[in-house]
Structure 1
Amino acid sequence: MDLDTVRTFVAAADAGQFQQAAAELAVTQQAVSKRIAALERGLGVRLFTRTPRGAELTIDGQAFLPHARELLRVAERAVASVRGGGRPLRVDVIASRIASSGLMRGFHRAHPEVDLDVVMLFDVGTAVDAVRSGAIDASFRAVAVPGRPLPEDIESVRVLDEPLELLVGPAHALAGAWSVTVAELAGHRIWMPGIVPGTEWAAYYGDLAAEFGLTIEATGPNFGSDALLDTIADTPALATFVGERTLPRLPPGDAPDAAGPAGHGLRRIPVTDPTPVYPHSLLWHRDNPHPALATLRAHLAAAPGGHGGAGTWVPGWVLPRRTH
């Protein structure tokens, strides 16, 4: 149903004259008459009766009037939901326990006035398509993966380079180390279930393994982080990588930095020479009008980003990065 004809009908009903309705709508009286006639044809009824005093509603017109007003109210609410920040800012963070989720929690604490909707999409292709279609406003990802450059209408900025640390159980050969070089990890089994081919994290860890001769295994089902921590704690031959901001830390005591559930005896060990960093980037469509998107970008720009530099490593496909 054409909302202009409905709006014209309501204006004419309230004014009681087509001429006055035309003045209120800034159109000609002929245009009002044509719109009313079109609405009557579509409904198959007469809505007005012409009288010496102007135009009076018929019984059908009286019945239609409250519904017409509701149609206009619904239309106004629909427009308000997507205009001027009326809808929540939708941001993809991949998973709930990684650094990008922590960044969004920090944003929410700093800007509680922003209505926020956090989603978790699986891979970079799905996320980019959602950003381009407007289904989400922004996504935290590695900038790209090999052979899949970002579309020209997608902007990106690296907001956090998160150092990787080695997580081991109390009986692991490296459990007493205060730091470990990448070269010293060669020959150790690093277990990371959940790495899926074609994802940006699969590309990242594949390049890390190839660059430094590491053994990174993704065998077996992924039962989640709790099961992973249990296995690492109980298996002296296994280690895993975690982001510096991924797990809670426990007081280190007389051992390297402790992490994870109390009683597991897990140790997180800094990796050096070089330090692998995972590049968390924010992606958004250059024409996205949501006002809170600018607020999010400004917040991330002001937050400590730990950007990698000398002594750090990222895959070659991450650089150069396109920034806005």
Structure 2
Amino acid sequence: MDLEAVRTFVAVADAERFQDAATDLSISQQAVSKRIAALEKTLGARLFTRTARGARLTLDGQAFLPHARTLLHTAERALASVSPGRRALRVDVVGRQLAPAGLLRDFHRAHPDFELDVVRLPHAGAAMEALLEGSVDAAFRCVPAPGHALPEGLEATPIFDEPLELLVGPAHRLAKARTLSPEDLAGHRIWMPSLVSGTEWSAYYASLAAAFELTIDSVGPNFGLEPLLDAVADSPEVATLVGEDTRFLWPDTHGLRRVPLRDPTPVYPHSLLQRTADPHPTLAALRGHLAGAVVDRPGTWVPDWARASEQPPARGDWMSA
């Protein structure tokens, strides 16, 4: 169906005169008549009756009018969904249950009039590619990574360092500890099946394991969060690592315990990635909101390559993963 003909039909229905509709659309009255005639042929129905006072909708025209408005509204939304500056601010997060997604929920509560489109890309490399092509406006990621430069045209702003905690079941040997140091985890099995080779979070946890001689096990199928929590709850030996600001829900019967890590506190550094020149009008508001999330935490540990304030951002092997 010709949307211009539908738009012309709505204009005539609103103006009740072909000439007035032509003026509103900046076309000739003859063009209006041709579009209406073509639409009537497509529909197999007469839409207007011409009168001395102008144009009056027929019963078929009255029936078609609300659907015509819906068609135009849908077309407008479809265009807005892919037009930078018109579509919703599209932001990539690692996971919808993780802390960056919580920051976006806080932003939306503070600015309910701003539209957000939250997406999840497989790794930082994919996020950078999407940023460069303009299909994504911003991304929450851990950058840099060893030995590479951030692609030209992108910039990274440190947002917050999220402390890690040990998550254990009630029968685990460390379940009664009030706090633990990373060295205390040596010799214990830390199961993280979500670690995927070639991702920035896999690089982070590999550095953590090397720094403190930890056993971080990613072997086994990743069936998602709930099976992982079930396994930790039932085991006296298996534990996992979670972010302090990442909220999980589990049954009371699991008895899971989050144990803070201290001396030093390993933190996962979240940064906001964006194009150096991004036209989306909502991005400035998001950056202003996130400025309040930056917290200076003494006594923390991050990999040397992830110290965004000390080294230039890096690209990482995940760009080609």
TM-score normalised by structure 1 residue count: 0.71
1:115 aligned residue: 115
For 2:278, the aligned partner's letter is: N
Asked if structure 2 preserves the Cα contact closer than 8 Å seen for 1:90 and 1:117, the reply is yes
TM-aligned CA distance change 1:175 to 1:56, over 3 Å: closer
Whole-Å Cα distance in 2 between the matches of residues 276 and 312 of structure 1? 6
In structure 2, the partner of 1:105 is 105
Query: Which whole-Å CA distance do the structure 2 matches of 1:65 and 1:230 have between them?
Result: 63
**8 Å Cα contact 1:161-1:278 kept in structure 2:** yes
Residue equivalent to 1:282: 272
1:89 to partner: Cα distance: 0.5
How far does residue 273 in structure 1 lie from its aligned partner after superposition? 1.1
* Alpha-carbon distance, 1:62 to partner: 5.5
Distance of 2:116 and 2:37 partners within structure 1: 35
Partners of 2:199 and 2:82 in 1: CA distance: 31
Q: In the alignment, does 2:52 pair up with 1:63?
A: no
Structure number with higher relative contact order (C-alpha < 8 Å, ≥ 6 residues apart): 2
Q: What amino acid is the match of 1:270?
A: P
Matched residue of 2:117: which SS? strand
Cα pair 2:132 2:275 within 8 Å, conserved: yes
Correspondence for 1:179: 179
Which residue identity lines up with residue 63 of structure 1 in the other structure? K
1:311 aligns with 2:295: no
Whole-angstrom CA distance in 1 between matches of 2:91 and 2:240:
28
For structure 1, the 5+ residue unaligned runs are 1-13, 15-23, 25-54, 68-72, 249-258
CA contact (8 A) 2:158 2:308 kept: no
1:228-264 Cα offsets, whole Å, 9 max, x none, are 110001010111100001134xxxxxxxxxx743110
**Normalized against structure 2, the TM-score is what?**
0.72
* Residue equivalent to 2:66: none
Query: What SS does the aligned partner of 1:281 have?
Result: strand
Q: Map Cα deviations across residues 33-70 of structure 1 (whole Å, 9 max, x no partner).
A: xxxxxxxxxxxxxxxxxxxxxx996xx99636988xxx
Whether the 8 Å contact between 2:165 and 2:258 is mirrored in structure 1 is yes
Q: 1:133 to 1:169 in 2, by over 3 A?
A: same
Closer/same/farther in 2, CA of residues 292 and 150 from structure 1, 3 Å limit: same
C-alpha distance in 2, partners of 1:87/1:66?
A: 34
CA deviations on 1:244-303 (whole Å, 9 max, x unpaired) are 01134xxxxxxxxxx74311011110111110000111100011110100010000002x
Alpha-carbon distance, 1:307 to partner: 3.9
Structure 2 vs 1, CA of residues 247 and 88 (structure 1 numbering), >3 Å: closer, same or farther?
Answer: same
Distance 2:186 2:84 in 1: 54
Q: Distance in 1 between matches of 2:112 and 2:239?
A: 39
Aligned-partner Cα distance in 2 for 1:243–1:56: 65
**What residue identity is the alignment partner of 2:105?**
R
RMSD: 3.0
Letter in 1 for 2:295: G
2:224 is aligned to 224
Please say if 1:138 is aligned against 2:138: yes
Percent identity between the two aligned chains: 52
| 1:162–1:306 Cα contact (<8 Å) kept | no
